[in-house]
Amino acid sequence: MEKNQLPKDFEHFADARKQGFLHIKGLKDQGKKVVGTFCTYTPAEVIMASGAVCVGICSFSDETIPDAEKVLPRNLCPLIKSSYGFALTEKCPYMYFSDLLVGETTCDGKKKMYELLGELKDMHVLQLPQTQTDNVSKELWYQEVLGLKARLESTFGVTITDEDIRAAIRLKNEERKILKELYELSQACPPPISGAEQLKILYGSQFKFDYDEKLQELRDVVTKIKENYANGVRPVAESAKRILITGCPLAGATEKVVTAIEESGGVVVAYENCIGAKTVDKLVDENEEPYKAIADRYLQIGCSVMTPDTNRYELLSRLMDEFKVDGVVEMTLQACHTYAVETESIRRFVQGKNVPFISVETDYSAADAAQLKNRLAAFIEMMA
């Protein structure tokens, strides 16, 4: 294809997807570079400092999984298959128009998928340590951050100045502060918005690329929610059981878990996983050497790929207390072995704080929606 041409099947796409393609094509036509990312560990500030648009890649739908399974094994995590399928079918605007994809070695399935994906798109893979505390791991990750800087400069023919990276850190920190203020509104009893609405705002903010406009929109949303609550607007019943969701990345197809909870007398007040608190809880230290500060901040993200995974437990404990949760729901994706194995220790930890816990395993199909509804309804009824 020519560099900025739409895919051949563009006219067959739904209107929302067409708009996504046209939006990102407009940025490309302005000369912008696009970098697609897969994971919370990827340091967005370095990409932003290069002048490129940083965007999360589509991977929350079963739409392209049948195409991916022509190459990948069926008993593989749906997120991995979905990611590869969107590249293969050219159905994701952000994947399609990306000039570079940045992956990370969080799990073996992703590592091997990136090798195949590299045949379709330009790939850069960050070698993520598997532990967060020793100096060797910290130095390795610091060098990986510097390596990403060098790759972006080489690929895009730019020089990232100290001023560029510090400005990107300030901008990204400001976004984190606003998003944190947004989700912390749900500490109120009852919360001022449903979990579905909170998720919509948190996830949707990734796909707004004018930062000044995005930050102002988020500020306006926070202000409006506060005003409505002060004026007595109560969209959530006071009797709704307050649920925290932890586990695998959640959006798109897996929103069925949120729907099941909120149709059964519960409300999701907090998301510990990658779409929620985990992404914005900690800031990059603006007073330290910028690349070291970035490396330190990102390496401390809690995730089951880390051993030991102490930071996940610390954040979980804090959120359970701050949001006064009545129960914790862990969502794991089929074949996500690190989260599946960690389930038992998370169960013990949560129940050790005298909070009810349930773990549900799912994929990107709708086939288990009724079963999920039954299990989660029973879990919430148990708290009554």
The alpha carbons of the chain give a radius of gyration, in whole angstroms, of 20
What are φ and ψ of residue 36, in 5° steps? -90, 140
Report the candidate in 308, 316, 305, 319 with the shortest Cα–Cα distance to residue 347.
316
Cα separation, 301 vs 274, whole angstroms: 10
What's the number of CA atoms in the CB half-sphere (13 Å) around residue 268? Answer: 29
For the chain, the maximum distance between any two Cα atoms, rounded to a whole number of angstroms, is 60
Query: What pLDDT shows up at residue 12?
Result: 63
Please list the residue range(s) of the chain that carry CATH number 3.40.50.11900: 164-383
Sign of the dihedral through C-alpha 53, 92, 218, 222? negative
Q: Which two tokens stand for residue 329?
A: 């729901």
pLDDT at 153: 98
Positions of CATH 3.40.50.11890 in the chain: 10-159
Q: Look up the CATH number of domain 10-159.
A: 3.40.50.11890
Query: Which among 296, 307, 246, 281 has a CA at the least distance from the CA of 106?
Result: 307
Tokens describing residue 342: 């960690």
Token pair, residue 251, equals 């959006």
Residue 355, Cα to own-chain centre: how many angstroms? Answer: 25
CATH assignment, 164-383:
3.40.50.11900
What is the C-alpha separation between 261 and 376, in angstroms, rounded?
A: 6
CA 78 to chain centre: 15
- Residue of 228, 184, 148 whose CA lies nearest to 319: 184
Tens digit of pLDDT at every position of the chain (384 positions): 445 788 777 776 667 677 878 889 999 999 999 999 999 999 999 999 999 999 998 789 999 999 999 999 999 999 999 999 999 999 989 999 999 999 999 999 999 999 999 999 999 999 999 999 999 999 999 999 999 999 999 999 999 999 999 999 999 999 999 999 999 999 999 999 999 999 999 998 888 889 999 999 999 999 999 999 999 999 999 999 999 999 999 999 999 999 999 999 999 999 999 989 999 999 999 999 999 999 999 999 999 999 999 999 999 999 999 999 999 999 999 999 999 999 999 999 999 999 999 999 999 999 999 999 999 999 999 998
pLDDT at 2: 44
What's the pLDDT score for residue 361?
A: 98
